[in-house]
Chain A
């Protein structure tokens, strides 16, 4: 069975401060993990992807995520928030369970204050 939990439905930061969006997953298989971003009235865009190579994954727009198997976590971080980072972020787990199954987290809305 697979599941993904985004621990915060909303996160608010000030511009220029660090961003941390938390994601825990559960999978009986070796999963691939993703973070997607959705800006208002837009489709989703891939930020980064982990597929059992380096545990620290660098993505677009200065975001990165660290895969921690012992903690079953895949938290998304960025050293310094920008106003344009305000969006909804989705953590996604995918594994071959006899056919790939992809599960999206419920999303975390990031607010960035000036």
Chain B
């Protein structure tokens, strides 16, 4: 059974600071996604990571994938309040997705 673990689950940070969210998964997978969810809203796809060493960047967010270590990271650079949301790491098993619990990020002024 595929398991996906994120840490931390809760993250409170100040604007302008950097931080990394970690995602470990238990079995081999061929792709990994990061999604964002704002309170009371649906999920929005941020990144699709397809291969070992893949790195994707969008604005202040950068995601990477190490398939050998079964580890993905989501790095936040110079955080701003608009990044406050819950971030999910999602790993595929065939056509199914397995979600991590999510990291609830709060960026404080």
The answer to whether A and B assemble together is no
